[in-house]
Chains A and B, each alone.
Chain A
Amino acid sequence: MERNTQEKNAIEVNHLCHSYNGRMIYEDLNFSVPQGSICGLLGKNGQGKTTLVNILMGFLKPISGTCLVLGEESHALSPRTRNRVGLLHEGHLAYEFMTIAETEQFFRGCYPDWNPDLFYNLVDRMKLPHNHKVGDMSCGQRSQVVLGVIMAQDPDLLILDDYSMGLDAGYRRLFLDVLHDFNSMGKKTIFVTSHIVQDLELLVDTMIFINQGEIMQTGLKDFMRDFKKYSFITDESSSILEDDFITGVERRGDTVTIYSFHDLREVKGHLEDIGCNGSDLKRESMSLEDGFIGLMGKY
């Protein structure tokens, strides 16, 4: 039964506990990412996002608990399982002393299922000669080489750490297109973090919000349906505080924006209860970035 669950989940985190420099980051973290899904990890800076990605990538051994990647402990993945996991490191790490052709030659010898056509299909879009050094490339160009490398490996699971870092809109869209195509090949799982939250809205089907060592895992559609953004105009100077009912508050001039999992009527009633005139309260369209700010706060 347990084995069956592990096979269905590309990532499985159970009772994960980790501390850094004496500061407890997670005490009992639990979540799983099913095979074939695209999961986005969202959280403000300093909430342990990078630590979690480092643990998933196998570069940090947790104090206790388990972090299984394709059924194996992430910090002790066998070479066979590593062959099935593609990693994109923050800053699009690549061997800058290599040329495009040398990069292809190097990785071709490392991965048995290497597909050179996939690599050159992505890299040749930049119209650079194959003897061009990776170190002489722009961040966007380097990201294409890295993307080419991880796609040509034909992995079953991709873990992308802030893939959008330093990329312009064009390169970001290209990434999204390639990742969509990758996921549509079936049973291919993507775990992604990005500071560009609106891009994730176009990609992920599941999200994990991480905040002060706690996580909330939800489907994108469910979140966009259940979490709501409202606004109303007020000339009152008193501020509305966040509580169990109101998850987030923003005020710009006399326009107050509030976020809640409750519906319009309930929120209106709540505003009356706390002595606030929200008679013109109306629901606004909400982007994932709005939802992120509404749920996690600005700082």
Chain B
Amino acid sequence: MIKSIMLKEWLKLKWFLYGCLLLNIGVCFKILLDIRQRLHAEHAEMVWYQAIHLHSVLYQDIRFVILATSLVLAAAQFVPEMLGRRMRIALHLPIGRNRLVTWSMLSGLLFFSFVTLADWLFVFSTIRFYFPEEVAAVVLPTMLPWYLAGVVGYCATTCILLETTRSRRVFLSIVFTIVVSIFFSGHGYSWLVPALPLLIVCIPLSLLSVYESARRFQQRGA
């Protein structure tokens, strides 16, 4: 059953995954070219001053691309299910609703994580190439909140698509926009690391809200 669910999600997502991967790698490549260009155009000391002393994150262009990737993947997964109320087919499969939702989301989040991992590897390699190891080491804690924002954005898109009433959609849009914006607040390297234990709580809460939306979707006419 789980293999079948993964197969279905793969069939829906594969072209979107390729597209998102291409876009993300493209933006990472642009970051590499920008850093290279700056080091050629300005004194290395100036770039160092901006990057280290002023905390100007040289790879911050990727953060909204990561969020957009999660929104696209969630939409690619659940819009076809909503069209013509096709989700009914999956909801009648001999598997519990929560398990079905869990495996569907895990598939989407797995693909999203794969793209984000590729981003991190590319950015990490770029920074490691031009800067000392200590600067490369903070790429992960700096990018982690952006990844988490993507996970919340993924759950938000799923919830909003599953909801049956406009008022709930609007309400959830507002709540999730506020939550996602927290992950993008602040400036500089590892800015949100001290708050991460609190922010991580948003992830299970976001996932739980999808189960509730799925329950309402099924019991209110699907």
Contacts and interface: CB of A to CB of B under 8 A. Distances in A.
B7 A106 contact: yes
B92 A54 contact: no
Nearest to A106: B4
A185 interface: no
A227 interface: no
A91 B84 CA distance: 8
A97 B86 CA distance: 11
Majority secondary structure, B binding face: helix
Interface of A: 54, 57-61, 75, 79-80, 82-83, 85, 87, 89, 91, 93-98, 102, 105-111
Given A107-B4, A109-B7, A93 B221 contact: no
Contacts of A83: 94
B1 interface: yes
A11 to B, nearest CB: 16
Given A79-B94, A98-B11, A110 B4 contact: yes
Interface in B194-222: 218-222
Interface of B: 1, 3-4, 7-8, 11-12, 80, 84-86, 88-89, 91-96, 218-222
A59 B80 contact: no
Contacts of B88: 57, 59, 87, 89, 93
B212 to A, nearest CB: 14
Contact of B94 (A59, A61, A95, A110): A110
B89 A95 contact: yes
B7 to A, nearest CB: 6
B85 A93 contact: yes
A85 B92 contact: yes
Contact of A59 (B84, B93, B96, B222): B222
Contacts of A75: 218-219
Contact of B221 (A60, A94, A108, A111): A60
B75 to A, nearest CB: 14
B89 A89 contact: yes
Closest 4 CB pairs of A and B: A109-B4, A59-B222, A83-B94, A79-B94
Nearest to A98: B11
A62 B218 CA distance: 12
10 contacts: A54-B222, A59-B219, A75-B219, A79-B93, A79-B96, A87-B92, A89-B85, A95-B8, A105-B7, A106-B4
B94 A82 contact: yes
Contacts of B221: 54, 59-60
Contact of A110 (B11, B80, B91, B93): B93
Contacts of A98: 8, 11
Given A89-B88, A91-B84, A110 B7 contact: no
A85 B93 CA distance: 10
B220 A60 contact: yes
Among A60, A75, A94, A109: residue with most chain B CB under 10 A: A109
Residue of A80, A89, A110 contacting most chain B CB atoms (<10 Å) = A110
B8 A57 contact: no
